[in-house]
Amino acid sequence: MKKSYKIEVDCANCANKMEDAAKKTPGVKDAVVNFMALKMHVDFEDGADPKAVMKEVLKACRKVEDDCEIYF
């Protein structure tokens, strides 16, 4: 299951860090951050609950970039 989310992040470097953090989160099959569009595209594992997984993604992203935001 694929979903897109609006994000806020200050630069492309932090966007890359968010992408890496999202990819490592359990329940995420793959994640791509588009800094120009300020979007995060997430492909979830089968059976994963997107809302629960995104909470963990946001936590992981805040560890690498405490100013970031993901709207979900």
Give the shortest CB-30-to-Zn ion separation in angstroms.
23
For residues 6 and 8, give the distance between their C-alpha atoms in angstroms, rounded to a whole number.
7
Which 8-47 residues touch Zn ion, going by CB under 5 A? Answer: 10-11, 14
For residues 12 and 35, give the distance between their C-alpha atoms in angstroms, rounded to a whole number.
6
Q: Which is nearer to Zn ion, 10 or 20 (CB)?
A: 10
Give the shortest CB-37-to-Zn ion separation in angstroms.
17
Q: What's the order of all strands across the beta sheet hosting 39-44?
A: 28-34, 39-44, 2-8, 69-71
Q: Which is nearer to Zn ion, 14 or 22 (CB)?
A: 14
Q: Which residues bind Zn ion (CB under 5 A)?
A: 10-11, 14
